[in-house]
Structures are given as C-alpha cells and as structure tokens.
Amino acid sequence: MSNKNQNLTFQSTGRLHVLGIDAEIDSAIGRKLKRGIYSVDRIHSLVMGFPGCGKTRFLLSMIKQHIDHNEGFMVIDSHSDLTNLVLSHIPPEKWDRVIYINPWSAFEDKYDHQVFYPSFFGN
C-alpha cells in the first residue's frame, strides 16, 4: 500500500452504527478504532449466512443501537428467535412505541385447532 493511500482520512457523516471494534489500539489515535456504517449510508440490511455463524447476534447488536438512539426499525423473523431477543432488550419506558404483529395469531383464530405449521412438512 502506498503512502498516498495510507494518508486518506474520511469525514464523519452522522452517527456511526458500530459493526465491530479493532482488537488492537490504533497508535495514531491512542484507542481501539470502531468500524461500522454511517447512518446516512445505510438504508436497509439483509444478513445471510450459514447456521450458527452469528447472524442473530449481529442483528441484535445493530437493533440495540437503534433502541438506544430512539431510532425505528422493523424485524421480519420466520423463527421468532430474534424477535424474542429484541423484545427482551426493549426497556419498559419504550414499550409504547412497539408494534408487534404475529401473523400466525390470525391464522390460528380463523382455523381454531386445525393449524398446520410449515415446519412439519415431510414429517
């Protein structure tokens, strides 16, 4: 890498959504450097990966930052693992801003006990 590229600096453009923190202290600033995406650069996110690689924890970390900064967010979760974690991290004083929609509840009410859950396909 040339000196020309090493001397590039980027101006902060809004709040940083932290994705990670460097393991070692940056000698130029005397602390660990935060890495992330600035608010103005982030619109929507899609996270994909193999089972067990940390997608849920990564998304929970991002969502907790939204909660802490009073920013809105929407979660679509087919297994409800992430949804349950998110709901457990919302402080009581912010519950009046929560809209929770469970599409299965309407289906169960309509068909009573004849609910067929897709997870049972092929069994």
Q: Are residues 74 and 100 in the same domain?
A: yes
Residue 63: count of CB within 10 angstroms of its CB: 19
Q: Are residues 38 and 68 in the same domain?
A: no
- Output the pLDDT for position 19: 77
- Domain count within the chain: 2
- Output the pLDDT for position 71: 86
Q: How far apart are CA 66 and CA 74, in angstroms?
A: 10
Supply 42's token pair: 């982030």
Q: Are residues 59 and 10 in the same domain?
A: no
Q: Are residues 74 and 36 in the same domain?
A: no
Q: Are residues 10 and 48 in the same domain?
A: no
Q: Is the pTM of this model over 0.85?
A: no
Range(s) of the domain holding residue 99: 44-123
Of 97, 22, 17, 98, nearest to 59 by C-alpha is: 17
Q: How far apart are CA 3 and CA 74, in angstroms?
A: 43
Flag residues of the chain having pLDDT under 50.
1-5, 7-8, 115-123
- Output the pLDDT for position 115: 46
- Output the pLDDT for position 20: 76
Q: Are residues 21 and 65 in the same domain?
A: no
